[in-house]
Structure 1
Amino acid sequence: MSKGNENMNAVIEEIVEFIKRSNHQIMIRIGGHGGSGKSTFCQELIKCLDPKDYNMISTDTYIVNSNLRKHTKAKYMYNGVEHEAKVTACMPEAHNVDILERDIRALHNGIDIMTIETPWQQSERLDATKKVTILEGMTTTFIDSKWVDLSIYIYTDNETELKRRFDRDVHVRGIDIEFLKASQDERRIQFELFMHPLLENFDIVIDHSNDLFKILKNQLN
């Protein structure tokens, strides 16, 4: 077993123990940029949980449709230079944060919710009485931390993100490689300006660059 897998398994074991020790319902968020390894971590976590005990919300459905975002540009300063570029999912304006927080409040108040239907996934009812609700996706990074009991932030360096986006978006989704390369620079700048500073609001911070698993912060210890 690689050191990265050992570190991941150790963190997951701590989270499972945290859940077991708790005598109340728990809301967990797993945030970070696209291609950071959030989904992989989430899948490994839920393997250790009883399906009867948890709800799972993939928050990609709370991202504003790209057909709208491609016509929306933002201006911002970076290293003393003004930039103007399309709003990517690394900016809070790309997310329906208020709607996600509304759904979280509903679950907190004992009200079942229906997940948002997509072309690839049917809507399903989430049971508000379940002990654990896991929120996974970029949108969770921008919600108020008061709504969750445990926050996990995962990120990578630029090279790792670009490689993973290449493997996923070009090979699987058919996106043009030149477009991907051109968009990555501004995407990363927006990440550094608007998303990465929020890591201070998270209990666990993980650097997943080069498929390693470096735990930079762990308040469960």
Structure 2
Amino acid sequence: MFQVLVKEYKSDMIMSIDELIEFITESDSKEYAIIGNGGGGKSFLANKLLMNFKYSNEQLLNTDDYLLDSKIRKSSLFSNKTAYDKDSYFIPALERDLKMAIMGKKFMKLPNYKNEMFLYQPKDIKIFEGIALPFTESFFKIEKKIFIYTEKELELKMRLKRDNGIRGVPKEKILADFSKRRFQYESNYYKWMDDCDIIIKNMENKFDVLKE
């Protein structure tokens, strides 16, 4: 049982990814914010939305880029903090860029984990993705808020596939950090589900859209 009080949700519609994208976009919203647990499918869903609108990564704002430098997060002050903690991010910069994006302004995004920098070039539809979004005031003003999550076992599988297979993070580090990260998600972050318009349980090859 999670340690925070959230509404009870139950299975409503099980969909393929194509059906899910159609369901999400049928409201003609102009802004989408995607949050949820790490390895839960946020980036996957964001990229599917980009493809649907025929956009490129220049039209995506990902909050991973606003994590503080790893040297800072490895200090004793951050010993009990993970990506689910507001203090782990450069929130003033994220807040500024969210406001710029919503206003339709161009700006240079912060470097990503590969130290690559890209120009944010706004289009009619704005797509934001990442754990840090609910730590900002702008998140609550975004038209369509989406929470996508996985059960614990699937999260670990997806995290190993992405962080070890793609990003090259040592498997031992992923396993060592996993329990603490999952605990903080379940005890502190899961509550943001109640603030979202669409709630999706990612079951890897299909998606369950939940309702109260």
TM-score bin, normalised by smaller chain? 0.7 to 0.9
Change (3 A) 1:114 1:147: farther
Conservation of the 8 A alpha-carbon contact between 2:63 and 2:130: yes
Conservation of the 8 A alpha-carbon contact between 2:59 and 2:126: yes
Residue aligning to 1:81: none
| Superposition misfits of 4+ residues, deviation over 4 angstroms | none
The aligned runs of 1:49-128 (5 Å cut-off) are: 49-51=53-55, 55-73=59-77, 85-118=79-112, 119-127=114-122
Residues 51-108 of structure 1: CA distance to partner in whole angstroms, max 9, x if unpaired?
A: 39x922122111222221121456xxxxxxxxxx431102222122332222222233
Residue aligning to 2:20: 11
Residues 30-63 of structure 1: CA distance to partner in whole angstroms, max 9, x if unpaired?
A: 11122111111112222211439x9221221112
Q: How many residues align?
A: 197
The aligned runs of 1:90-169 (5 Å cut-off) are: 90-118=84-112, 119-127=114-122, 130-144=123-137, 145-169=139-163
TM-score w.r.t. the length of structure 2 is 0.80
Quote the Cα distance in structure 2 between the aligned partners of 1:108 and 1:125: 11
Gaps of 5+ in 1: 75-84
Structure number with greater Rg is 1
TM-score w.r.t. the length of structure 1 is 0.77
Alignment RMSD, CA only? Answer: 2.6
1:47 maps to a residue whose letter is: M
* TM-aligned CA deviation for residue 126 of structure 1: 2.2
Residue aligning to 1:77: none
Conservation of the 8 A alpha-carbon contact between 2:20 and 2:207: no
Once the two structures are overlaid, the 10-residue window that deviates more, 116-125 or 151-160, is 116-125
1:192 maps to a residue whose letter is: E
Instruction: Work out which structure has the larger RCO, using CA pairs closer than 8 Å and 6 or more positions apart in sequence.
Output: 2
The answer as to 2:40 corresponding to 1:36 is: yes
